[in-house]
Structure 1
Amino acid sequence: MKTADSGNQPDLLHAALDTTVAPGDDFFSYANGTWLKQHPIPASESNWGIGKEVQNEVYARLRQTSIEAAGANATGGSNQQKIGDFWAVGLDSVKADKLGATPLKAELDRIAAMKTVAEVPGVIAHEIPLGVNALIGPVVYQDAKNSDQMALYLNQAGLGLPNRDYYFNTDSRTKNIRREYLRHVANTFKLLGQDSTTAKANAGRVMALETTLAKSSRKLEALRDPYANYHKMSIAQLNKLTPGLDWKTWLGQMGLTTVDTVIVGQPEFYQTAGQLLKTAPLADWQAYLTWQLVREYAPTLSRGLVDENFHFYGTVLRGAKSIRPRWKRVLDMQENALGEALGQLFVKEYFKPEAKARYDTLVKNVVSAFAEHIQQVDWMSAPTKIVALDKLHRITPKVGYPNKWKDYSALTIDRSSLAANVMRAKQWQYRYELNKLGKPVDRTEWGMTPQTYNAYYNPSNNEIVLPAAAFAIPGLLDADADDALVYGYAGASTIGHELTHGFDDEGSQFDAHGNLHEWWSKADRQRFNQRVNGIVKQFNGYTLLDSLHINGKATAGENIADLGGIVIGLDAFKKTKQYKEGKKINGLTPTQRYFLGYALGWQNHTRDESLAAQLLTDVHSPAQYRVNGPMADVPAFYEAFGIKPGQKLYRPDSTRVVIW
């Protein structure tokens, strides 16, 4: 294998360094500072970083694929025809402007035609398969306590702002967002042809109804407790929870005719939803359902609606200054509609067998290092260690791309309108999910496409899913990346990170078969929780944007996984030839390059508006703290960069968090 100093390859790690910053004061800025200065956030983005650079490379490839498909004389019903037609009509802004909101006419008429509140559930049942966030949140997923069965979950839903805190927080930033939201809803109604007074009144109705729903919605951290969000009920019990609602009929209207039990995530939310369906006037429901429908489809419609939607969700909430080019927005919609059709073409061209082999081996090496860590930890008892190792060795790694692809033959895509294609795609997706009920669980399925720059651990399948794009390094061929960089970038921040999710504050509550079941002894759980409390306290202590704090409890699982990934990935790297030889590249030791490789994965900067939104809605800490936070707990990092007392990242031995 070539290393970064052989040949003329640029050394990305060395080039990104800002040596005016001491690694012991701010390792994130030391590792990424020069790159960040050279890559300001584009006007159309709310943040910019390595993930966006990878995404840009993916966009360029998928754009070419789509252009070719649109120009080809493709067979009707083939994936190529669908990709080509979706792209062609998606780019036709003249057509979209001419059509205005008419692609939604049948749905808008259905809402307007309601004569009594009794008709509201039927209309909601019609909107749900269209992907509209209409009051309730039905989703098909593995039963957390019986992973061999698919179940219908009912979760809190129905809000137009990102989560409950936006309706109640009293800081000036959030209060301003609420004011802007009211204005945005009213402007949207005006674009649908309502006069100013009516539009304003309807926006008030929407806000009042959503605020009532928000009151009964759980906070971000409360949604992380799998036991507290699991309430299995028969249809009779569900009817009792929401007096006056006939769930058998309602679910039947949603195509869920065979369901006899459901798992309710947040019963208090459904009690409130049930009460509103009895007490809220028809005009409130018409305003609310019109708003939720148009909000969902605005990006597919005419210029005025597109711009109004972007102004609030892009600029006010996220700080983006200008809208992204239409072709990128269309590719995002195409990804949601036909992701695996694009994925097949993507991996054939861009994820070669040698790359797949490298990352298959990397996964094995990181699993083996994790097993050693489990054996060595002092807080876990011997019997629990045996079960933990069994769970680890049963984790299924899915690397690169699925072995079988989704079949889109039942999905019709044509050149009538972008909105119509998105609508049919959402209905197809809804039926695809519904079809899983009562059937054996398909453990081969992927929840992400190969061209996605992300990864996940699924506790119900006890699997880690690592899409091909997650391993991509912008501007560097895989064959030219040295092991130190790859073990830090992919081994620690992706593979090790996802593996430890199986053993974090949430994932550790699921057993090797993916069932919610306590397999730790009480004493083990207590000792583990003490350590988790340490990381919660550490992250609660970080202040951003003057007065905002990281939510240590909500981000605990991700912070545990970051810290675990770093120490486990390092031990896997120590077995490589590069580490053993110890040669420097551009003055950097293999271990230093490993830590810099990890920091490369979080090379990102964010606008203040977006950062504020992230702190309220995301279980991940901001990029800077995904580097500086865990590094401050890793002794090998102190050794590699000579971190001394008095430097900002320095934490005395006694306060450093050790989990794995």
Structure 2
Amino acid sequence: MILRKSWLVAASAAALLGACATPAEPPPPPVAEAPAAPAPAKPRPQYGTFGFDTAGMDRAAAPGDDFFAYANGGWVKATEIPADRSNLTSFAVIAERAAQRTRAIIDEAAAANAPAGTDARKIGDYYASFMDEAAIEAAGAAPLKPELDRIAAIRSRTDLSRELGASVRADVDALNATDFYTDRFLGLWVAEDLNDTTVYRPYLMQGGLGLPDREYYLGSSARFTEIRAKYKAHIAQMLRLAGYADADARAARVVALETAIARSHWTVDQTADVLKANTVWTRAELARKAPGLDWDAFLTAAGLSDQPRFGAWQDSAIAGMSKLVASQPIQAWRDYLAFHAVERGAPFLSKPFADEHFAFNGQTLSGTPQQRERWKRAVDNTSGALGEAVGKLYVARHFTPDQKAQVEEMAKNVLTAFGQRIDRIDWMTPQTKAEAKKKLANFRVYVGYPNKWRDYSALEIRRGDAYGNQARAELFEYRRNLAKLGQPVDREEWFMTPQTVNALFAPSQNSIIFPAGILEPTFFDPNADPAVNYGAIGGVMGHEVSHGFDDLGAQFDADGNLRNWWTPADMAQFKARTKMLADQYSAYQVFPDLNLNGQQVLGENIADVAGLATAYDAWKISLGGREPAVIDGFSGDQRFFLGWAQNYRSKYREAALRRAVVTGVHSPGMYRALTVRNLDPWYPAFDVKPGQTLYLKPDQRVRIW
């Protein structure tokens, strides 16, 4: 069955990444590290009597035909996407609120003139430097000169390899699909060794593209052809702004080189195949298996020369890219490196650079009409550079111990419910069930903020140097990751800041993280009806727990090691059920010429289906046998499913939605809302009957966990 929507913009690619935890409550943060004396809780916005935005519904829509419209259609019709955004989702609305709060914190830090070297001073100086447009305009392109001079001096393959190595940063994550790619030649991911999570391993990952994905270079559609022409013009203009002559010829060489790189790249599906990607090369094997790059020069410049083993995540892509270092003209590489240096620096340079960067990356690629206000960009970049320092101040003001305790209690019920679901599976052998229960028992759950705050003492921030501050922040983060190598694994490391509106599952750590940023309405309101909270943030919790048992997470054992703990028969059953889900989502037609790729979004959809079912059971556990009341004419079950659907209210511009479908691993929001059609209780709750668009026969409903 193919389902279509008549409006182009009503969809969401909101990125819930995942999180896992032990059933025991996590220890409270040490007194010296935790935020001291949180401010009293402020009144929370509420929607209707039971904490749901009933005005945002479209009651003329039949739930069984279009549940997304029924739950969110009023909001879709009444909401305009702001001119400075390519989309608007529940995540984005909460993020805007968090940005306003963060701005107040940062403004105070900037005005306070705190003692030199303190986190508050660094926060204030970084923010003030980005906001100092006069100083940025006066500097023009000058901040780029040292890097561009190094690039211009490249004369040999060794010089080139050295410069490529010096440009490496820790800006990729092989288990986080939103961070698969870097525009730098290769990315470095420092994480637990997949085969032995007691030690760290450095992973090399493919990179080097300025467009979002290989398909943008190789796809034959009119849309991709148009984007490639605009990209070439953008490259030329950026090089002109930096003072280069013959910009059109240089741009042509850059596009040709990146197209060659794209041909060697793995697809999103291939990159997500952890078994295929778990390739280990010794230091000596790099030159044999990926000849062309001068690996000695590259690794020395990257600070990796003493590492004996590397993960080659996309081994054939790394080999293909290395071959290009030897075969492509040096001049093409100089042009390529110069453009990417300018492109990365543009948001921190004078107005012509920033405007041209936005014109292509914001308008052309995502359809965003207007650049975000400067203070919003300043907040984002300050949080990016000094995230936990900002987060420590944020949670002290905006996240109370009562909220933390309430969320932790919900998480406890979700874990209990998932364990009970494992017990009830009728197709799984006792052997595999025992391994699954062992893994669940070893989950770690972290709520709100980390137990230990990051040390930024080695990060130098200079007031009045916006470009330099960003460059030093990226280098600081890179060196922080390099310092992990050879050290004991930190099992409590956070991979998100407390103010982030998202959640995370870390497969190798078997941990789930729920930052304070997402613990806000519409996802969580301590004053809302529990049914809504369990449908909303409970669904997120179940989603993250289920990531430990989706098509990726199911390959990791209780200690986070990549190990098969399934019997062959159980794995065959698991794959048959997940194929049903992939096929279900591949039938969704987003545009006349573009369907979802059910395999590409499979992991997230497994987590949605199993997570929502688990959240429903957890809500029932929380009731302690009591029947939920009817509120404003809505039953408890109805409120639960509406809470889930409200998570994914969203509107997208066409370019952004197409990009999300082509490159993303999350289904757009209206399709995530339709997860409900796989849960039996949804049908009687909304009187869904055979013949309605969303109706699935019981044997067609996907049941995985």
- AA of the residue aligned to 1:71: A
- Contact 2:132/2:464, CA 8 A, preserved across alignment: no
One-letter amino acid matched to 1:565: G
Q: Where in structure 2 are the equivalents of 1:118-157 lying within 5 Å?
A: 118-129=158-169, 133-157=183-207
The alignment status of 1:46 with 2:86, answered yes or no, reads yes
In the alignment, which residue of structure 2 is the partner of 1:357?
405
Q: 1:177 corresponds to which letter in structure 2? A: I
- Residue of 483, 502, 513 corresponding to 2:548: 502
Alpha-carbon distance in 2 for matches of 1:223, 1:535: 20
Distance in 1 (CA, whole Å) between partners of 2:328 and 2:530 is 61
Inter-partner Cα distance in structure 1 for 2:490 and 2:570: 33
Partner of 1:266: 314
> How many Å separate the matches in 2 of 1:74 and 1:64?
16
What is the CA–CA distance in structure 2 between the aligned matches of 1:591 and 1:548, rounded to whole Å?
34
CA distance in 2, matches of 1:102, 1:4: 47
What are the Cα deviations for residues 334-360 of structure 1, in whole angstroms up to 9, with x where unaligned? 111000000000111111000000011
Name structure 1 gaps, 5 residues minimum.
none
Counterpart position of 1:637: 682
Of 617, 635, 648, the residue aligned with 2:693 is 648
- Percent identity over paired residues: 40
Note the alpha carbon deviations across 1:510-546, whole angstroms, 9 max, x for none. 0000000100000000000000110011011110122
Aligned-residue offset at 1:257 = 3.1
Matched, 1:457 2:505: yes
Deviation per CA, 1:348-404, whole angstroms, max 9, x where unpaired? 111100000001100000000111111111221111101101101111111111010
Paired position in structure 1 for 2:237: 187
Alignment of 1:149-188 (within 5 A): 149-188=199-238
Match of 1:487 among 534, 537, 544: 534
Worse overlay, 82-91 or 271-280: 271-280
Task: Please say if 1:605 is aligned against 2:651.
Answer: yes
1:259-312 CA deviation, whole Å, 9 max, x = no partner? Answer: 011110112112222211111111101110011111111111111111111111
Return closer, same or farther for 1:248/1:286 CA change in 2, 3 Å cut-off.
Answer: closer
User: Which of 220, 240, 256 is matched with 1:208 structurally?
Assistant: 256
- Please give the secondary structure, in 2, of the residue aligned with 1:322: coil
Query: Does the Cα contact within 8 Å between 1:379 and 1:528 map onto a contact in 2?
Result: no
Residue segments in structure 2 that go unaligned for 5+ positions in a row: 1-42, 172-181
AA paired with 2:534? Y
Q: 1:580 aligns to what SS in structure 2?
A: coil
Change (3 A) 1:133 1:374: same
Deviations 1:245-264 (A, max 9, x none): 44244212211232011110
Equivalent-residue separation in structure 2 for 1:300 and 1:549 (angstroms): 37
Q: Is the 8 A contact 2:535 2:642 kept in 1?
A: yes
Shift of 1:39: 2.1
Moved more, 543-552 or 433-442: 543-552
Greater RCO (Cα-Cα under 8 Å, separation 6 or more): 2
Query: Alignment length, in residue pairs?
Result: 653
- Per the alignment, do residues 225 and 5 of structure 1 end up closer, same or farther by CA in structure 2, a change over 3 Å counting? closer
Q: Give the aligned residue type for 1:440.
A: P
Whole-angstrom CA distance in 1 between matches of 2:426 and 2:143: 62
Q: Deviations over 1:466-520 (max 9, x none)?
A: 111122116x98332110111011111x100000011111110000000001000
| Residues 4 and 481 in structure 1, CA contact (< 8 A), matched pair in contact too | no
Amino acid at match of 1:166: Y
Report the equivalent of 1:545: 591
Contact 1:164 1:217 in 2 (8 A): yes
Q: Structure 1 residues 291-300 or 7-16, which shifts more? A: 7-16
Q: Distance in 2 between matches of 1:8 and 1:509?
A: 43
Query: Which one-letter code corresponds to 2:590 in the other structure?
Result: L
- Kindly indicate which of the two structures has a greater share of residues assigned to helix: 1
CA distance in 2, matches of 1:7, 1:488: 15
- 1:87 pairs with one of 127, 130, 142: 127
Q: d(CA) in 2 for partners of 1:149 and 1:254?
A: 20
Alignment correspondent of 1:554? 600
Letter in 1 for 2:543: H
- 1:380 is paired with a residue whose SS is coil
Q: How far apart are the structure 1 equivalents of 2:113 and 2:129?
A: 16
Equivalent residue number for residue 622 of structure 1: 668
Whether the aligned pair in 2 keeps the contact of 1:390 and 1:512 (CA below 8 Å) is yes
Q: How far, CA to CA, are the matches of 1:36 and 1:378 in structure 2?
A: 41
Alignment CA distance shift 1:378-1:9 (3 Å): closer
Match of 1:387 in 2: 435
1:179-578 matches, within 5 Å, as 179-195=229-245, 198-473=246-521, 478-492=525-539, 494-577=540-623
- In the alignment, the residues of structure 2 paired with residue 359 and residue 129 of structure 1 have an alpha-carbon distance, to the nearest angstrom, of 35
Q: Deviations over 1:601-637 (max 9, x none)?
A: 1111111110100011111000000011x21211111
TM-score, normalization: structure 2? 0.90
Moved more, 371-380 or 352-361: 371-380
User: In the superposition, relative to structure 1, how do residues 574 and 95 fare at CA in structure 2: closer, same or farther (>3 Å)?
Assistant: same
Query: Quick check: 32-41 or 165-174, which moved more?
Result: 32-41
- CA 1:108–1:30: 2 relative to 1, 3 Å: same
2:55 maps to which residue? 15
Tell me how far apart the structure 2 counterparts of residues 11 and 368 of structure 1 sit (CA, whole Å). Answer: 25
The 8 Å contact of residues 4 and 482 in structure 1, kept in 2 or not, is answered as: no
Instruction: Give the Å deviation of 1:653.
Output: 1.8
The alpha-carbon distance between structure 1 residues 63 and 115, as it changes in their structure 2 partners (threshold 3 A), is same
Contact map agreement 2:170 2:189 (CA 8 A) in 1: no
Distance in 2 between residues matched to 1:202 and 1:390, nearest whole Å: 57
Shift of 1:579: 8.1
Comparing 118-127 and 55-64, the one that deviates more: 118-127
For 1:165, give the aligned amino acid.
E
- Amino acid of the residue matched to residue 564 of structure 2? E
The code of the aligned residue for 1:479 comes to P
| Deviation string, structure 1 residues 418-461 (Cα, Å, up to 9, x no partner) | 11110010010000000000000011110001111101111100
SS at match of 1:128: coil
Residues of 1 paired with 2:341 and 2:512: CA distance?
35
1:488 touches 1:594 (CA, 8 Å); kept in 2? yes
TM value normalised by structure 1 = 0.96
Distance in 1, matches of 2:625 and 2:506, equals 32
Q: Distance in 2 between matches of 1:229 and 1:501?
A: 19
